Amino acid sequence: MRRFVHRLYKRKVALISVVALVILYGGMLFAELISPYEHTTVFEDHAYHPPNVSMYSDELGFRPQVQKTALVDESNYRYARIADSHIPVKLFVKGPEYKLWGLIPMDLHLFGTTEPYEGTLTWEDGGQNYPVYLFGADNLGRDMFTRILYGSRISLTIGFIGIAISLTLAIILGGFAGYYGGVTDWTIMRIAEFFILIPGLYMILFLRSVLSRDMDSGQAFIIITIILSLVGWPGSARLVRGLVHSIKREDFITAAQLQGVPPLVIIFKQIVPQMSSILIVSITLGIPGFILGETVLSYLGLGIVDPAVSWGSLLNREVTSLSNLTSFPWFLYPGLFLLVTTLAFNFLGDLLRDVLDPYYREKSG
Amino acid sequence: MRHLVELIQRVGRPLYYFKAKHPLAHFIAARGVSMVVILFVLGFAVFGLMSLTPGDMVDNYVRSQMLMQSEFRQSDNVYSEEAIEEVKTRLGLNLPFYEQYFQWLHQVFVERDLGRSLISRAPILFLIRDRMVNSLILNLISLFFLTIISFGLGIYFSSKVGTPLDIGATFTALFLHAFPGILLLILLQLFAAVSGLFPITGYPDFPFREAPTRFVFSYAHHIILPLIGAFLSGIGGTMRMIRATMLDQLGRPYITSLRSRGVPERRVYLAHAFRNTLNPFITSSANLFASLFSGSLILEIIFSYPGIGRLMYEAVRQEDINLVLANIMFISFLILVGMVVADILLAMVDPRIRYGRQ
Amino acid sequence: MGILDVEGLHIDFATEKGPLHAVRGVDFSLQEGEVLGIVGESGSGKSVTAHSTMRLLPSNTNYTGGDVRYRGQSVFALEREELRRLRGPEIAIIFQEPGRSFDPIYTIGKAMAETIRSHEPELSEAEIYEKSVRLLKETNVPFPEDRLSNYPHQFSGGLLQRIMIALALASDPKVLIADEPTTSLDVTIQAGIIDLLLRLKDERNLSIIFITHNLALISGIADRIVVMYAGLVMEQGSAEAVLTSPRHPYTRALLDSILDLGQHYTDTPIAAPSGTVPDPYRPEAGCPFAPRCPLAAPACREAVPPIAEDPAPPPGTAAARHRGGAEAPGGPAAGRDREAEPPIAEGPAAAPDGAARRHRGGAEAPEGPGGPAAGPDRGGGPGRGAPPGGAEHAAHVHRCRFPGVKE
């Protein structure tokens, strides 16, 4: 552990990665608090609104502020800024009500404006405040920043859940294969080969087409996770099998066998701890695959769909069509978050592999 | 039991002779046989999976059949449960899945007919063949460039190990490897649209027969961006793997042994370390090929390239069960062929596999 | 000056944890036509020293001091092409693990052809084939014509080692370095390989550096012995002098740890030096063996004792007396004609623990008369003939003179 921290300080990219991941996951945990609205909050007449936060104006001087706009071209969604209509952005303002972590009822948001949007009613009186678009608005006038934060709740967790399922499968099946050898080994490895044989995305699409189609967002999340895990396990199973195969010859395993400890217990209690470091590496490097798998499915419109939101669904190909991207480039922000996340996991995993996996280090000199 | 053993031995004897006489031919034959078996079992699994899952897909299929085909059509377009059941039985959809599978096999191999697409009504064989060729061309081109360039870079950087250049290259490779492929493709298409230098689609808008020469140039122009996308997302992992394997080989005692005898450094790198790097690369090239196909699915969709990936996507979206089935079987077949070719190449390169360990 | 001189050699490896000091000042010289044994534990720097004479070490190696001279020419100053022409025609090496020292995808014939062609590009295919067969015959590989088309994995370890010797000889080297050539082989095959090496030495007038951790093995074949420990030469001298009258406690500890032939079990602990090898990342200022040395003086821990040369051996000196001891009953003569046989067999019937205790006993009573005991124990006898320079017998010892050695 100390060695890991030492290396982390030496390798700046990995350090930055850790910081980025902490920020992203912190943002995910406090998504409701940090985001000024809810992911379903619609501001009418503000579809495709560009980012509107600035730091300076003659009217208000140096401070975060928002300038009001008016829709001037309804077919192309062009907005005109209204002169001398700056509204200050304030910290900890009242907004839509929510329950933090599903438990604590709150209506406080990290930032927002205090002036009413249309008419005279603010949030407290059942109306809306004037929107702050840090990253711009989507096709329904929903705040992109809010949606990215809410979307991270799916995109950032699917990796962990997916890898947990696929690794459990891999440890059980790969463990049995390596532990028993012979026919068990042969059968399990042939099954694994089938999954490796078919290109991942084709397999995902096939499974997606046989599994039911009309689902709510919770079901969709579960089904997608299961599909991705089914496609992901064989690679790890091969790794586990090889490791178990070499560890099972050790004396302490023989001792456990002679005591009559059941194989599954031996695999999980005796063998898995032995290969924990390699598993940690393969978890870190495996997570981005799940995140990207979800993104691809949602991009194709086969994954998470409205009203649920994930980074993939924000990048859905109907939303990020070429014409949309050229006129509203902030539609790519979810992609930026995706990029930072996958890069961070990969850089971190690379460092972990250097620190933890002696075999790999020997190989790469 | 004893008779069985004897029988196997008697049948096996000429095989053993064959193996001893022509190790490579035997190897290829054995891989071919195993490929057929794997494909058969795979089809079995696919059909089993489809029957296991809850039935919207079959129901949709039956409904569409009833709407499309005159023999089932009723005047009022209202169908009772009984009528649906009856049509299912007539279409053989109530049979156990393995009987459906054998029917399908019969249809494919005896009647040479994959059925028709439920949506476009076009014969599936016709649909798949063209798309398959397009995808194959695309992926073989990218496999070719990927192999050549990543080998060049991998070997070059393995000779520069530890220098700032090498560290930079390794970092870049990791960066490219970690870059989400889908984002890269979207950005490339955006680049094409903004700069206007490249078409935003991946395929010429006129058929090959119309003007073959012009088609080739137009194809090259259209395909260049998608290829760069496939190349960039593949090069990182491949180059890292080749560099690591080269370094692994260069650290082995046999390399020191060669150097100690004054074998020129060029030969040490190219004739020995490199030749030995080919081996694990070929093993993983089938996987690389499969992952290229996986990547090209997104590529084909984003750049509207008429390949098998887009066909698969459309089939899934339109719940075209016949087409999905045929697609998945064909793509598996293709990857399997790739794997067998890789195995054979490996046996040609590495005597230990050809002869077995003695 | 010999054919190959190592002068004050220092070698570091750059590692993540900082420089690893593998060799920290090694001097020795290989004379033409002799067999020089380098003995030491794992990690003592013996292989690193040997590899450095051909600059075969990996790229993270720093030669921080000293020089290696082949016939007076510094090896470190050679250009790449000159270095290539040194490797093979001048110095050749055979390695510890023959199984891993061959490129698995080349037949033996191709490997031989490649090596021959590297230095004699003018030879035709037929001449190369002829030479390959001749070399394999010379190294006693059976059916050379047939086996040229075989791959390395089709050979046994012993045969591969013979082929490696043939490869090493392909360009007619003057110096052959044998880096633990028999460590990974069966004992019976070891003897054959060593016989072969000694025969080739006589036939081809080779000078051989023989590296081993097996003192028993080297005592039968070496003319002179260099004892290394933690990157330093502890002691060097004629084989006889080193084996019969070790002047460094480390050498003595090594000698004590040799078991008698056929012995598989004793109730008493083997008299191996206690403790472990010092950390090569942070070598102490003093003698590296001091922490494990029963005779260490405070001065030993502060600085490496200077090399102490034996005085010339006129009658009555330590060496002479040792030889006298060897003639005592129970110390049979070891002759050059018995070289392949492990000299452990030459030991007296005395139980090894007895020997060990006698040494320790002697050590506890300096200046005591029990000293020559070392002679009968190890019995490098008079049959060996005069050592090539008893005056060369030198060791890094401070004041820890062994009993019986006059100051």
Highest mean pLDDT among A129-138, B277-286, C34-43, C305-314: C34-43
Higher pLDDT among residues C400 and A52, named by residue:
A52
Show the tokens assigned to A296.
């691809």
> What pLDDT is attached to residue B19?
67
Surface of B (255-284) touching C: CB under 8 A = 256-265, 267, 271-272, 275-276, 279
Q: How many residues belong to chain C?
A: 407
Interface contact flag, A205 B319, Cβ < 8 Å: no
The string over C54-90, giving b where at least 16 C-beta atoms fall within 10 Å of a residue's C-beta and e elsewhere, is bbbbeeebebeebebbbeeeebeebeeeebbebbbbb
Which chain C positions have a beta carbon within 8 Å of B273's beta carbon?
none
> What pLDDT is attached to residue C113?
92
C-beta contacts of C295-300 below 8 A and 24+ residues apart: C295/C249, C295/C363, C295/C400, C296/C249, C296/C400, C297/C398, C297/C399, C297/C400, C299/C398, C299/C399, C300/C398, C300/C400
Q: Is A186 on the interface with B (CB under 8 A)?
A: no
- Chain A: residue whose CA lies nearest to B56: A212
- What's the pLDDT tens digit per position in C14-27? 877 778 888 888 88
Backbone angles phi, psi at A105, to 5 degrees: -70, 130
> What pLDDT is attached to residue C308?
60
- What's the pLDDT tens digit per position in B222-249? 888 888 888 888 888 888 888 888 888 8
Identify the residue among B158, B167, B254, B350 best suited for mutation to test binding to C, counting C beta carbons within 10 A and taking the highest: B254
Highest mean pLDDT among B330-344, C104-118, C311-325: C104-118
Show the tokens assigned to A141.
């006038």
Interface contact flag, B252 C151, Cβ < 8 Å: no
Show the tokens assigned to A241.
């099998």
- In percent, the amount of chain C with pLDDT more than 90 equals 8
Task: Answer whether the bond into residue A307 is a cis peptide, omega within 30°.
Answer: yes
CA C271 to each of CA A101, A165, C352, C367, C369: distance values in angstroms, whole numbers, following the listed order: 69, 56, 8, 23, 22
Side chain identity, residue B213: T
Q: For residues C244 and C326, what is the distance between their CA atoms, to the nearest angstrom?
A: 8
Question: Chains near A, with 3+ CB pairs < 8 A?
Answer: B
Interface contact flag, C115 B265, Cβ < 8 Å: no
> B232 near B179, Cβ under 8 Å?
yes
Tokens 């992911």: give the residue.
A39
Distance from CA of B8 to the nearest CA of A (A): 20
Q: For B167-183, what is the mean pLDDT?
A: 87
Q: Is A205 on the interface with B (CB under 8 A)?
A: yes
Q: How many residues belong to chain A?
A: 365
Find the farthest-apart pair of alpha carbons in chain C and give their distance in angstroms, rounded.
70
> C117 near C128, Cβ under 8 Å?
yes
Interface contact flag, A13 B332, Cβ < 8 Å: no
C313: pLDDT strictly greater than 70: no
Which chain B positions have a beta carbon within 8 Å of C101's beta carbon?
253-254, 256-257
Of B103-117, C100-114, C184-198, C291-305, minimum mean pLDDT range: C291-305
Interface contact flag, A364 B248, Cβ < 8 Å: yes
Distance from CA of C149 to the nearest CA of B (A): 12
Interface contact flag, C56 B355, Cβ < 8 Å: no
Which chain B positions have a beta carbon within 8 Å of A210's beta carbon?
49-50, 53, 57
Mention every residue, 6+ apart, whose C-beta is less than 8 A from residue C362: C368, C370, C371, C373, C402, C403, C404
Identify the residue among C16, C91, C103, C180 best suited for mutation to test binding to B, counting B beta carbons within 10 A and taking the highest: C103
Q: For residues C356 and C347, what is the distance between their CA atoms, to the nearest angstrom?
A: 13
Interface contact flag, B261 C88, Cβ < 8 Å: yes
Which chain B positions have a beta carbon within 8 Å of A345's beta carbon?
178
Q: For residues A160 and C29, what is the distance between their CA atoms, to the nearest angstrom?
A: 63
Which chain B positions have a beta carbon within 8 Å of A296's beta carbon?
182, 298
Q: For residues C68 and C79, what is the distance between their CA atoms, to the nearest angstrom?
A: 15
Q: For residues C62 and C18, what is the distance between their CA atoms, to the nearest angstrom?
A: 12
Angle between helices B181-195 and A333-356 (to 10 degrees): 140
Tokens 């006993």: give the residue.
C361
Q: For residues A221 and A305, what is the distance between their CA atoms, to the nearest angstrom?
A: 10
Residue from A230, A47, A224, A214 nearest A138 by CA? A47
C336: pLDDT strictly greater than 50: no
Distance from CA of B357 to the nearest CA of C (A): 7
Backbone angles phi, psi at B116, to 5 degrees: -115, 155
Shortest CB distance from B352 goes to which of C104, C119, C168? C104
> C203 near C331, Cβ under 8 Å?
no
> What pLDDT is attached to residue C367?
36
Interface contact flag, B262 C164, Cβ < 8 Å: no
> B271 near B277, Cβ under 8 Å?
no
Interface contact flag, A206 B174, Cβ < 8 Å: no
Distance from CA of A322 to the nearest CA of B (A): 7
> What pLDDT is attached to residue C387?
37
Q: Which band of pLDDT confidence, cut at 50, 70 and 90, is reported for residue C340?
A: very low
- What's the pLDDT tens digit per position in A47-86? 888 888 888 777 777 888 888 788 787 787 888 887 777 7
Q: Which band of pLDDT confidence, cut at 50, 70 and 90, is reported for residue C314?
A: very low
Show the tokens assigned to C62.
């720093």
Distance from CA of B10 to the nearest CA of C (A): 29
Complex ipTM, two decimals?
A: 0.82
Residue from C298, C308, C180 nearest C236 by CA? C308
How many CB atoms neighbour CB C1 within 10 A?
Answer: 9
Q: Is B345 on the interface with C (CB under 8 A)?
A: no
Shortest CB distance from A212 goes to which of B56, B171, B297? B56
Give chain A's mean pLDDT.
81
Show the tokens assigned to C335.
């002759």
Interface contact flag, C105 B351, Cβ < 8 Å: yes
Shortest CB distance from B260 goes to which of C54, C60, C107? C54
Interface contact flag, A198 B56, Cβ < 8 Å: no
Surface of A (336-355) touching B: CB under 8 A = 338-339, 342-343, 345-347, 350
Interface contact flag, C97 B253, Cβ < 8 Å: yes
Which chain B positions have a beta carbon within 8 Å of C114's beta carbon?
263, 267, 271
Give chain C's mean pLDDT.
72
> What pLDDT is attached to residue C317?
27
The string over B29-56, giving b where at least 16 C-beta atoms fall within 10 Å of a residue's C-beta and e elsewhere, is eebeeebeebbeebbeebbeebbeeeee
Shortest CB distance from B259 goes to which of C56, C106, C171? C56
> What pLDDT is attached to residue A344?
92
Backbone angles phi, psi at C396, to 5 degrees: -80, 75
- Chain A: residue whose CA lies nearest to B57: A210
Distance from CA of A263 to the nearest CA of B (A): 28
Mention every residue, 6+ apart, whose C-beta is less than 8 A from residue A276: none
Q: C-alpha dihedral over A190, A193, A194, A196, to 10 degrees?
A: 170
Q: For C250-263, what is the mean pLDDT?
A: 70
Q: For A287-296, what is the mean pLDDT?
A: 89
- From first CA to last CA, the distance across chain C in angstroms is 29
Interface contact flag, C119 B262, Cβ < 8 Å: yes
Chain C contact residues (CB < 8 Å to B): 51, 54, 56, 58-60, 80, 84-89, 92-93, 95, 97, 100-107, 114-115, 118-119, 151, 153-154, 164, 167-168, 170-171
> C360 near C210, Cβ under 8 Å?
no
Q: For residues C251 and C260, what is the distance between their CA atoms, to the nearest angstrom?
A: 17
> What pLDDT is attached to residue C132?
92
- In percent, the amount of chain A with pLDDT more than 90 equals 5
- What's the pLDDT tens digit per position in B297-311? 888 888 888 888 888
Distance from CA of B35 to the nearest CA of C (A): 27
C97: pLDDT strictly greater than 50: yes
pTM of the model: 0.75
Shortest CB distance from A209 goes to which of B293, B319, B339? B319
Shortest CB distance from B335 goes to which of A197, A205, A339? A197
Q: For C160-170, what is the mean pLDDT?
A: 90
- Chain B: residue whose CA lies nearest to A359: B248
